[in-house]
């Protein structure tokens, strides 16, 4: 790491340090700020420039740095899990409520024989917790198998996703959660137990007592809750899916198909002289270009989607930044003459590097379209000069061409900084990426290129070998994993909601068998019966959708950082998800309605 003053403008270094015991991040930030102030005092003529550029060092914890980009994704997945859990628990609560209503006469008999309400409540809670515990055990088995599926679907692609496993902490958390959910949602039938007059149960005829409006309202409210939760979760999944689809359609600024890349480093021990390093790169490129199936080959120090981050300040000759204006800090790239052809980066103006651009000729460079539009909006960038760094002893490079702007880190980049390109023969690097474009797939090409490198230098390793489509795909892997997992959770929520609607309507039809039989006997047609049952189901779904829309409008705004070119309130997504959920509710309501049509009046009138 160089300590020279002319390298203080470089932004390609990160520093790591372990704080002493008792020293906080805030204290470390104060000490770093003091060091930076002392550095500014050493450069009085550049002080204003550095202050305008907001020169400084940000001290952050390593853990915060690692999870900074993925934190919103993790929060989203945690919210999805909670939503699915709540929907499942609501289903269980509904089933427990139905079960307690069916057993109400049993509870009344126990009450008349001396069992107090608290004892009956303990029985119901014990049964609920037991069922929840058994469900938790079953869930652990399913979860163990499902974990492999989730890893396959993309969970392993999340940061440290490959370390996800079911350990003691997971087992303890699952057990505690099972008991807690059993107690919380088992309390729903207990609540109705305390509200009911158990003595009145004996005076009720048949099962009519179980159709008490309060119990029916509670079951309906739970279904509405399911639908609203499912809607919010489905909206989030749909937004991520649409966002991912639009992200994949983004033009990265180059053509990644049929491009192979690899990295090599020239050790200073053997390549201390620029001439030797220059000759190695030239010889290697010539030998690779001569290989069968290779259409072009180039080299670069800053390969898009490779994890590189090499940027530095440049000074435009004759351009004086305004007060508070940041100087240009573009990405630095040192390439050869065929790099743009190999990557498929278009030349928009002027020319690219040629063989006449040598170490002894005039220093030349190219800039990308972003810099050309920002600093030369009239299109007169050709012929302008830029100095590398801020020191006057650095050479001025003449702009000979303008090329298209490219995405370098990920497809969702929205704040470009621009790129400058220098010729490797004039500024000789020691670490470069080899870029090879072929006329089709060639599985043997990698080994062939490796042999060419070893012929040029038997001790030279070739590493980080990947195709450009692989690099582009890797840049969106976290977004893809989050989208797939949310879609899985959304599908589960949809199924559970359908089960909830079906369960309530099926039980309602069973409880209203006698009423429906009387209606049929008095002349009600099949359409009337089906319409009545369907109307009840769609009404529940409609209320749930209304609440879900309000919740989604509030919660999806938190997803803004996870979305690309999609608004959190996209009307197409909201309408599509609402229509899909309404269709599922219609199908779930249709089955009980068809069962109601088959009720025979003679049998229904004797139904108890």
| Rounded average pLDDT over 152-175 | 74
In this prediction, residue 500 has a pLDDT band, given cuts at 50, 70 and 90, of confident
Q: Number of structural domains, the chain?
A: 3
Identify whether 470 is part of a domain.
no
Answer yes or no: do 93 and 166 share one domain. yes
Identify whether 467 is part of a domain.
no
Nearest residue to 85 (alpha-carbon basis) of 493, 541, 548: 493
Residue 295 CB coordination number (10 Å):
14
- State the pLDDT at residue 214: 62
- State the pLDDT at residue 478: 78
Q: Which range scores top for mean pLDDT: 26-40, 189-203, 369-383?
A: 369-383
Answer yes or no: do 233 and 281 share one domain. no
Residue 317 CB coordination number (10 Å):
11
- The Cα–Cα gap between 105 and 103 comes to 6
- The mean-pLDDT minimum among 58-62, 102-106, 213-217, 329-333 falls in 213-217
- The mean-pLDDT minimum among 36-40, 54-58, 134-138 falls in 54-58
| 475 backbone dihedrals φ, ψ, rounded to 5° | -70, -20
- The mean-pLDDT minimum among 210-219, 464-473, 521-530 falls in 210-219
- The mean-pLDDT minimum among 141-155, 195-209, 551-565 falls in 195-209
- Is 150's pLDDT higher than 80? no
- Is 66's pLDDT higher than 90? no
- The Cα–Cα gap between 194 and 100 comes to 12
In this prediction, residue 210 has a pLDDT band, given cuts at 50, 70 and 90, of very low
User: How far is C-alpha 306 from the geometric centre of its chain's CA atoms?
Assistant: 20
Please state the pTM of the whole predicted model: 0.77
Answer yes or no: do 238 and 338 share one domain. no
Answer yes or no: do 90 and 63 share one domain. no
Nearest residue to 305 (alpha-carbon basis) of 349, 273, 259: 259
Identify whether 261 is part of a domain.
no
Residue length, the chain?
608
- Is 156's pLDDT higher than 60? yes
Identify whether 194 is part of a domain.
yes
- State the pLDDT at residue 207: 46
Nearest residue to 499 (alpha-carbon basis) of 191, 136, 214, 84: 84
- Is 202's pLDDT higher than 70? no
Domain region containing 24 = 5-67
- Is 510's pLDDT higher than 60? yes
Identify whether 164 is part of a domain.
yes
Answer yes or no: do 118 and 215 share one domain. yes
Last residue of a domain, one of 459, 488, 521: 459
- State the pLDDT at residue 291: 92
Answer yes or no: do 285 and 312 share one domain. yes
- The Cα–Cα gap between 301 and 308 comes to 9
Identify whether 259 is part of a domain.
no
Answer yes or no: do 227 and 85 share one domain. yes
Query: DSSP H helical segments within 162-212, as ranges?
Result: 168-195, 198-201
Answer yes or no: do 298 and 408 share one domain. yes
Identify whether 260 is part of a domain.
no
Last residue of a domain, one of 459, 493, 524: 459
| Rounded average pLDDT over 414-443 | 90
- The mean-pLDDT minimum among 51-60, 193-202, 510-519, 532-541 falls in 193-202
- Is 208's pLDDT higher than 50? no
Answer yes or no: do 449 and 521 share one domain. no
Answer yes or no: do 163 and 288 share one domain. no
Last residue of a domain, one of 20, 51, 67: 67
Look-up of token digits 């705004």: 557
Identify whether 254 is part of a domain.
no
Q: Which range scores top for mean pLDDT: 103-117, 310-324, 393-407?
A: 393-407
- Is 399's pLDDT higher than 80? yes
In this prediction, residue 211 has a pLDDT band, given cuts at 50, 70 and 90, of very low
Answer yes or no: do 141 and 47 share one domain. no
- The mean-pLDDT minimum among 131-145, 463-477, 518-532 falls in 518-532
Answer yes or no: do 494 and 578 share one domain. yes
- The Cα–Cα gap between 368 and 2 comes to 28
């Amino acid at each position: 790491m160089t300590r020279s003053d002319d390298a203080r403008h470089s932004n390609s270094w990160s520093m790591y340090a372990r704080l002493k015991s008792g020293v906080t991040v805030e204290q470390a930030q104060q000490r770093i700020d003091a060091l930076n102030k002392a550095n500014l005092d050493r450069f009085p003529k550049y002080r204003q420039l550095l202050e305008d550029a907001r020169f400084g060092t940000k001290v952050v914890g390593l853990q915060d740095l690692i999870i900074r980009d993925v934190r919103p994704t993790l929060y989203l997945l945690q919210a999805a899990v909670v939503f699915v859990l709540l929907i499942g628990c609501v289903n269980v609560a509904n089933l427990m409520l139905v079960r307690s209503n069916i057993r109400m006469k049993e509870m009344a008999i126990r009450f008349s024989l001396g069992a107090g309400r608290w004892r009956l409540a303990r029985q119901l809670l014990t049964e609920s917790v037991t069922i929840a515990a058994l469900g938790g055990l079953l869930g652990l088995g399913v979860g163990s198998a499902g974990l492999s599926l989730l890893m396959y679907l993309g969970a392993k692609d999340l940061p440290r996703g490959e370390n996800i496993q079911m350990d003691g902490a997971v087992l303890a958390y699952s057990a505690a959660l099972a008991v807690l959910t059993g107690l919380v949602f088992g309390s729903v039938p207990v609540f109705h137990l305390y509200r009911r007059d158990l003595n009145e149960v004996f005076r009720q005829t048949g099962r009519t007592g179980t159709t008490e409006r309060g119990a029916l309202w509670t079951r309906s409210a739970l279904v509405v809750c399911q639908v609203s939760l499912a809607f919010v979760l489905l909206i989030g999944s749909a937004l991520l899916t649409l966002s991912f689809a639009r992200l994949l359609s983004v033009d990265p600024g180059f053509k990644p198909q049929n491009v192979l890349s690899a990295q090599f480093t020239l050790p200073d021990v053997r390549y201390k002289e620029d001439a030797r390093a220059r000759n190695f790169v030239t010889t290697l490129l010539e030998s690779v270009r001569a290989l069968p199936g290779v259409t072009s080959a180039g080299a670069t120090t800053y390969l898009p989607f490779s994890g590189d981050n090499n940027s530095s300040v440049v000074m435009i000759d004759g351009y004086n930044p305004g007060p508070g204006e940041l100087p240009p800090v573009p990405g630095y790239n040192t390439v050869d003459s065929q790099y743009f052809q190999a990557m498929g980066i278009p030349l928009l103006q002027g020319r690219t590097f040629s063989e006449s651009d040598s170490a002894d000729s005039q220093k030349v460079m190219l800039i990308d379209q972003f810099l050309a539009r920002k600093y030369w909006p009239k299109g007169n960038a050709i012929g302008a000069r830029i100095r590398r760094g801020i020191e006057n002893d650095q050479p001025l490079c003449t702009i000979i061409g303008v090329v298209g702007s490219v995405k370098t880190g990920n497809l969702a980049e929205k704040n470009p900084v621009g790129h400058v390109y220098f010729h490797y023969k004039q500024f000789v690097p020691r670490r470069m990426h080899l870029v090879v474009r072929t006329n089709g797939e060639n599985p043997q090409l990698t080994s062939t290129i490796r042999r060419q490198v070893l012929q040029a230098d038997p001790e030279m390793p070739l590493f980080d070998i990947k195709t450009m489509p692989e690099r582009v795909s890797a840049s969106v892997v976290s977004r893809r994993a989050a989208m797939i997992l949310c879609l899985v959770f959304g599908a589960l929520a949809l199924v559970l909601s359908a089960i909830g609607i079906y369960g309530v309507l099926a039980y309602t039809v069973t409880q209203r068998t006698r009423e429906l039989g009387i209606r049929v006997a008095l002349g009600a047609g099949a359409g009337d019966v089906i319409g009545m049952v369907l109307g009840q189901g769609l009404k529940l779904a409609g209320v749930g959708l209304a609440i879900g829309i309000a919740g989604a409008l509030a919660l999806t705004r938190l997803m803004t950082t996870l979305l690309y070119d999609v608004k959190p309130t996209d009307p197409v997504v909201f309408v599509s998800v609402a229509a899909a959920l309404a269709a599922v509710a219609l199908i779930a309501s249709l089955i009980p309605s068809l069962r109601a049509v088959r009720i025979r009046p003679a049998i229904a009138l004797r139904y108890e």
